[in-house]
Chain A
């Protein structure tokens, strides 16, 4: 099932909240250059190579339940203990997990945050998120899985190689806009429709409009959850970012979602960085508690670097 983007891109400069104009976000749109399909092919090739190396002996982290049994490999710390082969453990006194061949019918789903805040950063966070989503499409194809891309109000299903270009066009149709975040998507309840058959769920966004528990509730017994938080360098390290650009504190911080404004001095910025670090640690800790995979990326990370962090590619 392929779905065209239902969102009509409009001029991000026309953003308004109530009677007040909101500042235009710098990078609301997504554009893939002509080299990007080649990069996807490279990513797919690396995944196939890793898969070949790991089958039977080591693990691609994307291997999991619901597949044809093909052998065993040693258990690695952090893995789901339900995959342990208890018979082998009793026989050899060493933990082994069962390795399965992926079933063609398995489906992965990628939820993409398209809130206005995803338009921040250069390149924008939405651009980086969509590149990762496209990369997941390539990997899913290599893994023999179907991939469903879901953004607020739109979805696209990647079934076969010929769907690559339409998938990129779908992603290019996404725009970082107000009220289109993952929080809206989760709160709408529409996730229940596509989660039913989803073996792996990827959530990509800045998660500013979410509590960890909102997303972690989407993990299930037969569904792996990957949380990929995408922040801009300025959000992650405002002091260093502004120092490099010779900007002076204080700054007026404007919330792109509602236009709220705060005067922030350097002292408060230091406190922010400390608080953000604690906040990210809490997300990571809670993700581990729900056996969800957690990865923090910045919008200026390349797609390849992100996958190297997530999948070890």
Chain B
């Protein structure tokens, strides 16, 4: 909780000049406090030098004067209508950017915010944070290609994130998982369809319309296209797009190995080029990396793995697991052997024996994984993303409903100040003795 002193009428502070002027006047008043006397003869006789000494002296400020000034100050302070406001701590709101390829699709109206859906979504998020996050902070969340690494930037309400952050975030091509951000302090900025509307998060109205273009690579330079009317048809890929490719790294993906041969067959069926090595290429839709040479003395595991009867040998460093991001597709004794994420597959084992079981089952199993992990490729955006980015309804979310946010509580102080001032004046009047003069 944070307690703040707020003032409904800040101009009332001008009234605080009154007690200051009063004190100055009271100080100066001593110079002009006149007393009539019948004769100054004796005064002259006795004053002498004392008169000069007294000339520069100012009247002392008595407790009575101080109390009166205090009462005036209290009244002046009350005129500002102060109130004691208790509110929740400043919060960090989360603005969640889409990570799908629809980020780069052109917006229908192409307003000043920018030509793409991503630009307009960001602009809408900036407006929303300005209107709803006053006094708090805003954490922008995105994910960058090719591996979906989360990128964040903390901004003030109404501030646009930096260009470097937006450039990284707009390049991702991985479907966003929105559900994990369905919280009262979140704002969704989807540029593609969202399966379910949020229960708690806010979502602004965004209407992009259909973005015609290729939705699936058919191989051989052909693709399936979505036109402006929403119809699908086969046509050639745009000639300026790079050819989609599969990149392989590691011994077990070499030609002549079971996995390498399978990957090449799958690539050929998809019309993908094969690249080998660590450097990524434009248009790369999948990167398969095998575990490489085991370290000396590392524990070695060999077992019949999977449901297809094939055997593999894997080794793990002493100090922990292999650095593998993504979802585990295959594991051994609580240790991951194969993990995948959009655009990449990491394989921990360094030796894959010949398949002893059904070769077709082996091929289907791995090909399914390849399809699951493969990116659509540059310029290829799914039908759902090209069609669905039309969110005309503003969902405010519960953050603005304030059921989870403690409402600010105002305690007006002006009446108490006025009563205190009145008590002071009463005390001055009652105990102040006889009137002056």
Contact = CB atoms under 8 A, between A and B. Distances in A.
A268 B50 contact: yes
A21 interface: no
Interface in B33-48: 33-47
Interface in A230-271: 231-232, 234-235, 238, 242, 244-248, 250-257, 260-265, 267-268, 271
Contact of B436 (A115, A235, A247, A254): A247
Contacts of B281: none
Contacts of A268: 43, 46-47, 50-51, 54
A252 B34 CA distance: 5
Q: How large is the interface on A (under 10, 10 to 19, 20 to 34, 35 or more residues)?
A: 35 or more
A30 interface: no
A306 interface: no
Interface string A270-290: 011011100100000000000
B320 interface: no
Given A262-B43, A272-B42, A275-B45, A250 B37 contact: no
Contacts of A257: 38-39
Interface residues of B, number: 34
B432 A246 contact: yes
B62 A255 contact: no
Given A253-B40, A276-B42, A264 B432 contact: no
Contacts of B60: 248
B27 to A, nearest CB: 11
Nearest to B41: A208
A244 B434 contact: yes
Given A246-B432, A262-B43, A256 B54 contact: no
B239 interface: no
A127 interface: no
Given A117-B38, A262-B43, A264-B47, A246 B54 contact: no
Given A246-B433, A265-B50, A255 B42 contact: no
B32 interface: yes
Contact of A253 (B31, B37, B45): B37
Contact of A208 (B33, B39, B51, B437): B39
B59 interface: yes
Nearest to A256: B36
B91 interface: no
Interface in A170-189: none
A260 B36 CA distance: 10
Contacts of A262: 40, 43-44, 47, 51
B55 interface: yes
Contacts of A272: 42-43, 46-47
Contacts of A209: 39
A23 interface: yes
A230 B41 CA distance: 17
Which of A256, A257, A263 is most buried by chain B, counting CB atoms within 10 A of its CB? A263
A120 interface: yes
A255 B39 contact: yes
A22 B360 CA distance: 126
A206 interface: yes
Interface in B380-437: 432-437
A26 interface: yes
B43 A264 contact: yes
B434 A245 contact: yes
Interface in A1-60: 23, 25-26
A141 B391 CA distance: 118
A264 B35 CA distance: 10
B54 A263 contact: yes
Contact of B37 (A244, A247, A254, A279): A254
Given A265-B54, A268-B46, A252 B39 contact: no
Contacts of B435: 245
Contacts of B64: 246
B30 interface: yes
B164 interface: no
Nearest to B29: A248
A23 B34 contact: yes
A262 to B, nearest CB: 5
A16 to B, nearest CB: 15
B36 A254 contact: yes
5 contacts: A117-B38, A117-B39, A247-B33, A255-B38, A264-B47
Closest 5 CB pairs of A and B: A117-B38, A208-B39, A271-B46, A265-B54, A268-B50
Given A262-B40, A265-B50, 15 more contacts: A23-B34, A120-B36, A120-B37, A235-B37, A246-B433, A247-B437, A250-B54, A251-B33, A253-B35, A262-B47, A263-B57, A265-B57, A272-B46, A274-B46, A275-B42
